[in-house]
Amino acid sequence: MSEIPVSGASAVYSGKRYSILRGGKDWVAIRTEPREEVSDAVERGESTLAPGHCEARTKIPITALNRVFDVDVTALIARRQVSLGNRWAGGCIRIRFVDLPTAARDLAAHLAGESDSR
């Protein structure tokens, strides 16, 4: 199964799409595979997602990027529109509500009912 896309800043570097984790005036840190070869790497390291969960990141100059763009991913859960935010440890994705605040309570009740029935 392919990875579910999430909202956030992305970049194309050497023909491949990467999520941007953070950036500065003349650099960005992109999410990479732990041993992935990145010829323009200025620095490599790990970002902590949660205790015991890290992801590889590589800092590269902005000038090395082919393109930078913003992604906005929305979905319907129980007929309520949500935005799929950043990815967390263990494959979890932060959900942000696009609808009224009451929708969050309705969805929480709906999901609680689903988990209780399993």
The residues spanned by each domain of the chain are 8-70, 73-116
Model confidence, pTM: 0.71
pLDDT tops 60 at residue 115 = no
Q: What is the C-alpha R_g of the chain?
A: 17
- Token digits of residue 13: 């570097």
More reliable by pLDDT, 5 or 2: 5
* Residues 58-114: tens digit of each pLDDT: 999 999 999 999 999 998 877 778 888 877 767 778 888 777 777 778 778 887 876
Mean pLDDT of 44-52: 73
